[in-house]
Amino acid sequence: MSKALDGLKILDFTHVQSGPTCTQLLAWMGADVIKVERPGVGDATRKQLVDVEGADSLYFTMLNHNKRSLTLNSKNETGKKVLERLVKECDVLVENFAPGALDRMGFSWERIQELNPRMIMASVKGFGPGPYEDCKVYENVAQCAGGSASTTGFRDGPPLVTGAQIGDSGTGLHLALGITAALLQREKTGRGQKVLAPMQDSVLNLCRVKLRDQQRLQHGPLKEYTQDGEGVEFGEATPRAGNDSGGGQPGKILKCKGWETDPNAYTYFITQAAVWQKICDVIDKPEWKEDPEYATPPARLTKLNGIFGEIEKWTMTKTKYEVMDICNPLDIPVGPILSMKEIAEEPSLRETGTIVEVDHPERGKYLTVGCPIKLSDSEVEVTRSPLLGEHTDEILADVLGYSADEIAEIHESGAV
C-alpha cells in the first residue's frame, strides 16, 4: 500500500521532544526521515532517563520510530559539504536547535534558499519574534509562558503544569501541519518557505478557551466556574478552575467505588443539559426534574457543588467502569480516569495501533504510542528507532550517490 507522504525526503535536524514528535508523524505517513546526529553523541535523549544499561532510552526510542540515522559533524568542512548535498536533495529541513544555531553552522535561511529554492525549512523555537526570541525553552517553560500553568490547578493552590506535553509534542503537531500546508502550497508556487511554530504560541493556541474567559470576565463573573456559586469574587485574570469544565456543559471529576485506596477510582461526569432528566433518574433525584431551582441550566449554575455532591453519592456506589456502562446508553457523557497501566493493557488501543509493541536490538520489547491520526489509505507500520549512525553509509550511497571510496574518505575526515 502506498503512503500519504511517499517520496518525500526530510532532513531531520531535531532533538529532544518537540521536533522529533513532528518528524515521527511525517515518517509514519510515509516520508523518508533522515535524522542527522552528532557523531559519537547523537540526540541527547538517547542517554537520558536510561532504564536498560547500554540501550537507547525509551525517551529516545518512543520519539524516533521509522527514521534513519546519519551521523554528521555539521561544523567539520567535509561535513558541511555533505550537508549542502543533503539540503539540495531533501524537500524539508526540520530543526529545533536553540535560536541562531543553524546560522552559526553556516546554514541560514538565505543560504538554504540559495542551495534549494524548493526547500521548506521548519523550526520549533521557544518564542516567536520579540523580547524572548533568543531564549532556550523546555516543555514546562512553554506551559507557563503560554497560559496553561496559570489556568491549571485549584484556586487555592499554585499554578500547575500538566502531564500532557502540550509545549513539546503539542508544538510538534502544529509544526507538522505547517509543513504539510507548505508542501501543498509548493505544488502551486514551486517555492519553499519558512515554517515557524513557537512553543509559547502553540500552548496558547491550545489554551484558547482561557483567553476567551479572560475577555468574558470584563462583562461579569464566569458563571460556569464553581467559584461563582461559592460566592468567591473573581480577580483580574482567568482563574484556575480545578476540574470544572468551565464550558457550556458543567462537569467535574467525581469519586467512584474504591477511591479510598485506588488513586484513579474517579470518573469525569458531565451534566449535559439535554439529558438532565435522565441524570435525575439515575441518581434518584426525580424531584429535580421539574423543580424550577434545578430544571434549567441557568438555575443550576449557582448550585453546581451541591449537584455534583449528590451525583458523587451515586458514583461512589459504582466502579468507574460501571458508571460508564450505566451512563453511556443514556447518552450521559462520562469518562473513567484511566491510569497509564490501564491504558497500556487496553485491548482496543492495541487493535487500532495506538498502543504498539516494538522490538529493539538493545532493549528488547517495549510499548509505544503509535500514530494517533488514522488515514484510511495510508497505513502505519511502526518500526523501531535507529541506532546512532545506523544508516550513515546507506544514506551517503543511496541518497547522495557517493562511491565506496568517497564514503571511506568522508569517514577519514571525521565528518561522520
Complex with ligand COA: residue 145 or 332, whichever CB lies closer: 145
12, 91, 168, 201: the catalytic one is: 168
Complex with ligand COA: residue 175 or 334, whichever CB lies closer: 175
Complex with ligand COA: residue 18 or 152, whichever CB lies closer: 18
| CB half-sphere exposure, 314, CA atoms < 13 A | 17
Of 85-93, 136-144, 152-160, 360-368: span binding ligand COA (CB under 6 A): 136-144
Q: Does 101 bind ligand COA (CB under 6 A)?
A: yes
What is the closest distance, in whole angstroms, from the C-beta atom of residue 39 to ligand COA in the complex?
8
Rounded to the nearest 10°, the torsion over CA 362, 7, 183, 194 is 50
Query: Nearest residue to ligand COA, using CB?
Result: 98
- Site for ligand COA, residues 268 to 297, rule: CB under 6 A: none
225-228 long-range CB contacts below 8 Å, 24 or more apart? 226/252, 226/304, 226/305, 227/155, 228/301, 228/302
How many residues sit close enough to ligand COA to count as binding (CB under 6 A)?
A: 24
Q: Does 97 bind ligand COA (CB under 6 A)?
A: yes
Q: How many CB atoms lie within 10 A of CB 404?
A: 9
What is the closest distance, in whole angstroms, from the C-beta atom of residue 412 to ligand COA in the complex?
18
Closest CA to 21 of 179, 175, 135: 175
Among residues 7, 48, 52, 75, the one that binds ligand COA under rule CB under 6 A: 75
Question: Backbone phi, then psi, for 343, in 5-degree steps?
Answer: -65, -45
What is the closest distance, in whole angstroms, from the C-beta atom of residue 34 to ligand COA in the complex?
12
Q: Does 125 bind ligand COA (CB under 6 A)?
A: yes
Among residues 52, 88, 98, 372, the one that binds ligand COA under rule CB under 6 A: 98
What distance in Å separates the CA atoms of residue 93 and residue 10, rounded to the nearest whole number?
A: 6
Q: Does 38 bind ligand COA (CB under 6 A)?
A: yes
Residues sharing a CB contact under 8 Å with residue 40, sequence separation 6 or more, in sequence order = 71, 388
Of 16-24, 283-291, 340-348, 403-411: span binding ligand COA (CB under 6 A): 16-24
Complex with ligand COA: residue 136 or 212, whichever CB lies closer: 136
Degrees (nearest 5) of the Cα angle 354, 374, 380? 70
Complex with ligand COA: residue 133 or 290, whichever CB lies closer: 133
Cβ-based burial of 308 (10 A; exposed 0-12, middle 13-18, buried ≥19): buried
Of 17-25, 260-268, 281-289, 342-350: span binding ligand COA (CB under 6 A): 17-25
How far is CA 411 from each of CA 40, 111, 387, 397, 416, rounded to the nearest angstrom? 13, 26, 18, 13, 6
Question: Does the annotation mark 201 as catalytic?
Answer: no
The DSSP bridge pattern shows strands 334-336 and 92-95 to be unpaired
316-319 long-range CB contacts below 8 Å, 24 or more apart? 316/254, 316/255, 316/256, 316/257, 316/259, 317/257, 318/256, 318/257, 319/256, 319/257, 319/258, 319/265
Residues sharing a CB contact under 8 Å with residue 251, sequence separation 6 or more, in sequence order = 243, 244, 245, 268, 269, 270, 271, 333
Q: Does 197 bind ligand COA (CB under 6 A)?
A: no
Complex with ligand COA: residue 310 or 393, whichever CB lies closer: 393
Among residues 5, 10, 12, 18, the one that binds ligand COA under rule CB under 6 A: 18
227-243 burial: b if 16+ Cβ within 10 Å, else e: bbbeeeeeeeebbbbbe
Q: Does 62 bind ligand COA (CB under 6 A)?
A: no
The DSSP bridge pattern shows strands 120-125 and 194-198 to be parallel
Q: Does 72 bind ligand COA (CB under 6 A)?
A: yes
Complex with ligand COA: residue 44 or 340, whichever CB lies closer: 44
What is the closest distance, in whole angstroms, from the C-beta atom of residue 175 to ligand COA in the complex?
10
Among residues 5, 8, 11, 16, the one that binds ligand COA under rule CB under 6 A: 16
| CB half-sphere exposure, 14, CA atoms < 13 A | 35
Q: Does 88 bind ligand COA (CB under 6 A)?
A: no
Among residues 12, 168, 244, 312, the one that binds ligand COA under rule CB under 6 A: 168
Q: Does 137 bind ligand COA (CB under 6 A)?
A: yes
What is the closest distance, in whole angstroms, from the C-beta atom of residue 16 to ligand COA in the complex?
3
Complex with ligand COA: residue 284 or 412, whichever CB lies closer: 412
Question: Backbone phi, then psi, for 11, in 5-degree steps?
Answer: -90, 105
Q: Which residues bind ligand COA (CB under 6 A)?
A: 16-19, 36-38, 72-75, 96-98, 101, 104-105, 124-126, 136-138, 168
Q: Where in the sequence numbering do the catalytic residues fall? A: 168
